[in-house]
Chains A and B, each alone.
Chain A
């Protein structure tokens, strides 16, 4: 099976981003002391590494090798959002990032002429993503007495703005590749 050049690039981009995500969350997990949160973060980065593998398998089924890409969404992320400096900020940036991932995969799954193997891969990944968003939401809720609900809300708002900026820059830079998959930033 031969696939469209743009789809080849997009799936390779997803794969590269999942690898970067695994490294990103792995570094965050390493920065934490042993705790329930570190345990969940460890499972989280293991999931991201598996997602990269699923995309590698998907590309193989489509008859192509993954492209080696220098770009990954996360590369620009911390530059725009700034380094998190406490546990709450780490979880907030993770929550915002995961929502972006879910939004992008949902949009892709709904687009026209998606090969079955791509849709199956997205479905598999989305099962994990539900848990990712849930555990972080629960952990942030548990932090409200310590950090303050308003402070957490403001932190999420700040990181959401940074996320939009990075997404718009990425979408603009790769517009010819992404085409209809470009998300309208909400």
Chain B
């Protein structure tokens, strides 16, 4: 499984969705009932994949694809 698919699988798991429901163009806020679930997911991704985001990074993230891109770029930076 590629990095991106591993991250997508973790997103789906934390949000309680299937992989199919976390396609790149899905808007993250449409996938959750509570905005705190997004906080939980973002923190979980940082711990799981050993990357770090700041609030400013997340301002640019709207979709699952945006988030995959962010995690991927951070993983590349730290590699």
- Check: B3 CB closer than 8 A to any chain A CB: no
B40 engages A85 (CB within 8 Å): no
- Interface-lining segment among A29-37, A50-58, A112-120: A29-37
A-B contact count (CB 8 A): 46
Closest to B46 in A: A86
Query: B58 to chain A: which residues have CB within 8 Å?
Result: 83, 85
Is there a chain A Cβ closer than 8 Å to B77's Cβ?
no
**Given A30-B40, A31-B43, A33-B47, A86 and B35 contact (CB-CB distance below 8 Å):** no
The CA of A32 and the CA of B36, in the complex, are separated in Å by 11
Task: Say how far A32's CB is from chain B's closest CB, in angstroms.
Answer: 7
Which of A27, A85, A87, A90 contacts B57 (CB under 8 A)? A85
Q: Which residues of B contact A (CB under 8 A)?
A: 34-36, 38-40, 42-44, 46-47, 52-55, 57-59
Chain A residues in contact with chain B, CB under 8 A? 27-28, 30-33, 78, 82-87, 89-90, 151, 155, 158
